[in-house]
Every structure is written in C-alpha cells, then in structure tokens.
Amino acid sequence: MRRGTQRGFTLIEIMITVAIIAILAAIAIPMFSKEKRKTDTGSETAAMFGELAIRQDQYKLENGFYLATAACPATTIPQGTDATSCITGSGAWVPLKVRLPRQKLICTYTTTIGTGTGATAPTGFTFTSPTGAWFYIVATCDADGVSSVNAQYFVSSVNSTIQKTNEGR
C-alpha cells in the first residue's frame, strides 16, 4: 500500500483566516448599521413629511392658516415609539387629521408656522420665508440610541426637498 501526501490546512492558516474575517466584520458591521439607520429614518421622514405637508395644506384651505404642532411623539427610541397618541384624543395632529404611514416612529416631528419674510431656519438648514404664510417641519431622530447627537431632517412649504444633518446617527 502506498501512502499519499496528506492535504489540508494547518491550524495557523485557519487562525489567520478567522482573524482576517473578524477584522473585516468589525469594519463592515458598523457601516451596515449606519446605512440601515439612514434608510430607516430616510424612508420614515419622507413618508411623514409628505403626509404632514398635505395635511397642513388641507388645514390651511379649510381654516385660512397653517397649524403649529409640538413635537410628536414627544420622545423616540431606535426601535420606534408608538405614535397613536399623536392622532387620538388631544394629540398634536388630531386637527390635521394625520394618517400615520406606520404606527411606530423613530423621529419626532415639530411644525413651525409663520407669515412674512425674515424667518430663520434651525441651525444647519436653509430657509427663505416667503411674504405670505409658510411652515416648516423638523424631524429629530435618535436612530442609534445615542441622544447626544441626533439626525435632523427639514422640509418647508417653500421647498419640499428634504435637508439633512447628522444623517445615519
């Protein structure tokens, strides 16, 4: 009987391969998490901004002015906060007749209204108020659970393009 040469990997080769995979995973997982947060907050804010802007325009047609709203939901967590309280009882969005695109929201939404020029946007956003009535909506999102730096999104009645700061945070 003839003995053949044995084939296979040495323990050192396997350990080096596992170490390389671990290093790549340590780099890729945080990047994937950041992209997922950007996608989650981006899709939510686009849907909510669309809904709130439509409801603000409808409210103005019926009442002659836009409606300022306090932050709703009041606080959020990365898993989302149930926002039904915003559209029921004495919730901030009841007069607007808002229909939630999803029940749990990652962001809080605040609407600021005004008339005339000279208004300034929150820090990090650009806004030129028109001579007539206007509104802008700011979404503040704590998608990563670290509330020291939150992502913020901005849209106005003047410009429906969504402006972003700290996106993916």
pLDDT digits 0-9 by tens, 85-142: 999 999 999 999 999 999 999 999 999 999 988 888 899 999 999 999 999 999 999 8
Q: Which amino acid is at 15?
A: M
Would you state the structure tokens that stand for residue 96, as one six-digit string? 């607007």
The listed range with the strongest mean pLDDT (3-12, 26-35, 92-101, 159-168) is 92-101
In sequence order, the 6+-apart residues with CB closer than 8 A to the CB of 115 are 132, 133, 134
pTM value?
0.81
pLDDT at 3: 65
Task: Report the first-to-last Cα separation within the chain, whole angstroms.
Answer: 66
Band (pLDDT 50/70/90 cuts) for residue 2 is low
pLDDT at 168: 62
Band (pLDDT 50/70/90 cuts) for residue 146 is confident
